[in-house]
Chain A
Amino acid sequence: MPVDVSAEVIANTPLSGHYNVLALAAPAIAAAAAPGQFVMVKASRGHDPLLRRPFSVFEVLRDRRGLPLGISLLNKRVGPSTSRVYSAKAGETIACLGPLGRPFTVVEPPADAWMVAGGVGLAPFAALAEALRAREVRTTLFYGARRSEELFYLDFFRNLGVALEITTEDGSAGEQGRIVRPLERRLAARDPDDEVMVYACGPEGMLAATARAARTYDRPCEVSVERIMGCGMGGCYSCVVPMRTRSGGVHHVRSCLAGPVLRGDDISWE
Chain B
Amino acid sequence: MDFSVHIGSLTLKNPLIAASGCFGYGVEYADTIDLSTLGGVAVKGLFLSEREGHAAPRIVETPAGMLNAIGLQGIGVRRFVDEHMPELRARRATVIVNVCGTTIDEYVEVSRILSDTEGVGAIELNISCPNIKEGGIQFGCSLTGTFDVVNAVRHVTTLPLFPKLTPNVTDVASFARAAEDAGADAVSLVNTFLAMVIDVETRRPSISNVVGGLSGPAIRPIAVRMVHECRQAVKIPIIGMGGIAEARDALEFIIAGASAVQVGTANFVDPFIWAKLLDGMTDYMRRHGLSSIGDLVGTLDAAAREAGSHA
Contacts and interface: CB of A to CB of B under 8 A. Distances in A.
The answer to whether A and B belong to the same complex is yes
Interface of A: 1-2, 4, 42, 47-52, 95, 97, 227-228, 230-231, 233-242, 250-252, 257
A257 B28 contact: yes
A50 B58 contact: no
A238 B66 CA distance: 11
Q: Chain A's interface: helix, strand, loop or mixed, by majority?
A: loop
A241 B270 CA distance: 24
20 contacts: A2-B32, A4-B270, A47-B63, A47-B216, A47-B217, A47-B245, A50-B269, A52-B268, A228-B58, A230-B268, A231-B22, A233-B29, A233-B271, A234-B29, A235-B29, A235-B271, A236-B24, A236-B68, A236-B70, A240-B58
A233 to B, nearest CB: 6
**The 6 nearest A-B residue pairs measured at CB:** A234-B28, A231-B268, A47-B64, A238-B59, A238-B58, A230-B268
A42 B29 CA distance: 19
Contact of A235 (B22, B63, B217, B218): B22
B23 interface: yes
B299 to A, nearest CB: 27
Given A1-B32, A238-B59, A240-B73, A52 B272 contact: no
B267 interface: yes
Interface in B53-96: 53, 55-61, 63-66, 68, 70, 73
Pick from A49, A233, A236, A240 the residue with the most CB of B within 10 Å.
A236
Given A231-B269, A239-B56, 15 more contacts: A47-B245, A48-B64, A51-B66, A51-B269, A95-B270, A231-B267, A231-B271, A233-B24, A233-B32, A233-B268, A235-B24, A235-B28, A236-B268, A237-B21, A240-B73
B116 interface: no
Interface of B: 21-24, 28-29, 31-32, 44, 52-53, 55-61, 63-66, 68, 70, 73, 216-218, 245, 265, 267-272
Contacts of A251: 52
B123 to A, nearest CB: 21
Q: Chain B's interface: helix, strand, loop or mixed, by majority?
A: loop
Contacts of B31: 1
A50 B59 contact: no
A93 B29 CA distance: 25
A237 B58 contact: yes
Pick from B22, B28, B64, B269 the residue with the most CB of A within 10 Å.
B269
Nearest to B58: A238
Contact of A228 (B29, B59, B70, B268): B59
A49 B61 CA distance: 7
Contact of A48 (B63, B245, B265, B271): B63
A169 to B, nearest CB: 21
B53 to A, nearest CB: 6
A227 to B, nearest CB: 6
A252 B65 CA distance: 25
Contacts of B73: 237, 240, 252
Given A47-B216, A50-B61, A50-B66, A238 B269 contact: no
A26 to B, nearest CB: 15
A238 B73 CA distance: 10
Contacts of A227: 56-57
A242 B65 CA distance: 26
Contacts of A1: 31-32
A50 B265 CA distance: 9
